[in-house]
Structure 1
Amino acid sequence: MANWTARKILGEKLLFTCFEDLTRAYTKAFNAVIMKEENGVAPRFFVRCLVKMEDFINDVWDDRVGRKNLSKNNSKSLASLRQKFRKYMKDFESDVAKFRENPDLPDQEEDEVDSDESEKNTS
């Protein structure tokens, strides 16, 4: 029932637009940032976003009653989003599997900040 409320607020069309914006931003940053600083590995916060989006899309898709009550535009957007998302996720299968094994690990950025602070304290 919580998914239904979230769908009413967000709408599948908005979620589809957000997904496209996220993929465009990742693609833009890939050569400049990810290849240089992350050695080609997707950042953990990005994988976290993908996992949460995947779970949400699967929950919405599995709710057949809710899907039948969607407007035509939202229904089309949901189907398109699901199809494009599944295709996009093939590039990140190993990263998502690692994340799902231990989702409570902090993002790398937090680790770097903690190590910087500990180096300052020991000096």
Structure 2
Amino acid sequence: KAPSNILFLMPQDSAFYLVDALMGKEAGETTHLDMMAESALMEIGNILAGAYLNALYSFTNLSLIPSIPALAMDMAGAILNVVLVQLGQMGDHAMVIETEFLAEDDELRGHFFLVPDPGSMEMILSAVGVG
């Protein structure tokens, strides 16, 4: 096992676009998040976390289990400050994976952060042959 924390960040307009696509709305229709939209975004986070963690397991044979997702909307710096202060108690390094969604002619980007607990990053890097 390699205990870690996960964070997925994307611009607000991209999040709204994803909600519109999932809910069958016209692009640009969503301007704020109701409970259903928040739930949809958390499920996207859950699906992405599962996909990334399964891929990392394939490379490392390390068990990485996701927890229930949470959602926050604010300026990126504000979210990162709060999260990184909390995670700073756990580890000093992060693995960052750029994420891209493609739909017809549209392209959305986000960033997936895996912040391992102390000792976990060394296990992950060792498992992929980086020493």
Fold agreement, TM-score > 0.5: no
Select the structure that is richer in strand.
2
TM-score, reference length from structure 2: 0.27
Select the structure that is richer in helix.
1
Which of the two has higher C-alpha Rg?
1
